[in-house]
Amino acid sequence: MVAHSKVEADNAVADRRSQHLEASVPERSQIQPVRALHHNPGRAIPASLLSDTHFRTFRSHADFNLITKTSSMLDMCGFYWGPMNVKVAHDKLNSEPVGTFLIRDSRQKNCFFAISVKTVSETVCILISYQAGKFSLDGSKESFNCLFQLVEHYMASPKKMLLFPLRKVRLRPLQELCRKSILTTFGRQNLDSIPLNRVLKDYLKSFPFQI
């Protein structure tokens, strides 16, 4: 059942995200749309999505692969809201507890994603910078190989800037809660040592973060 659900989820993720991503192949001057990720290449992108999302083109396959993987995991995390402008994001967070946050697409041309978070004084937007394979919050010198490592870091920080991810569906599936519990107990670096079959290990590794 887990394997079947994972396959369906992966297909849905690929179908949605590939509508927004384009790759620039370094050896060619023309920009080529990604077709391998998506089952319906003729589907048009709604104008409403184009107005709120900006995915710049890529100059290396490594960057393209990392952002594509990050986008797939974002769709699985539950607190990624996709294309959303600042006002809508703030409206969703204004009535939430301090420290509640969400991730959304950035409309800035030099950024892929942004974090909106409710602070003591106001709700703010923080751009997530991506340079040379590293993610960082705009203005911060700390960088991370993975966007979710960045989120985990700031959730664990003594400053408690990020506390509660605002999920689209607040009641989480039992299998996600079990995965989080296993990762909290064993740590993502020890997943291979857990006596589980390959399908379950693949599910744990598909989102190996304690968020």
pLDDT, tens digit (0-9, with 9 covering 90-100), for 101-155? 999 998 887 788 999 999 999 999 999 999 889 999 998 999 999 999 999 999 9
Q: Any idea what the CATH number is for the domain that residue 43 is in?
A: 3.30.505.10
List CB contacts of 198: < 8 A, sequence separation 6 or more.
Answer: none
Quick one: 76 and 162 in the same domain? yes
Rg (CA), the chain: 18
Quick one: 152 and 73 in the same domain? yes
Quick one: 181 and 152 in the same domain? no
Quick one: 146 and 182 in the same domain? no
* Claim: this prediction has a pTM higher than 0.85: no
Quick one: pLDDT band at residue 167, thresholds 50, 70, 90? very high
* pLDDT tens per residue, range 76-114: 899 999 999 899 999 999 999 999 999 999 888 778 899
183-205 average pLDDT score: 87
Quick one: 201 and 156 in the same domain? no
> How many folded domains does the chain comprise?
2
> Which residues in 82-98 are b (16+ Cβ under 10 Å) and which e?
bbbeeeebbebbeebee
Quick one: 209 and 145 in the same domain? no
- Residue 174 has φ and ψ, to the nearest 5°, of -60, -40
Torsion of CA 167, 114, 66, 145, to 10 degrees: -100
| Cβ atoms within 10 Å, residue 11 | 12
Give the separation between CA 26 and CA 46, rounded to whole angstroms.
28
134-137 and 31-33 beta bridge pairing: unpaired
Given a cut of 60, whether residue 8 has pLDDT beyond it is: no
CA-nearest of 154, 98, 153, 146 to 123 is 98
Quick one: pLDDT band at residue 49, thresholds 50, 70, 90? very low
Quick one: 48 and 60 in the same domain? yes
CA dihedral (153, 134, 79, 85) positive or negative: positive
Enclosing domain of residue 127: 2-170
Quick one: 53 and 85 in the same domain? yes
Give the separation between CA 127 and CA 115, rounded to whole angstroms.
6
Tell me what pLDDT residue 54 has: 52
Helix axes 2-17, 198-206, angle to 10 degrees: 40
Quick one: pLDDT band at residue 57, thresholds 50, 70, 90? low
Residue 128 in contact with residue 150, Cβ under 8 Å? yes
Quick one: 34 and 55 in the same domain? yes
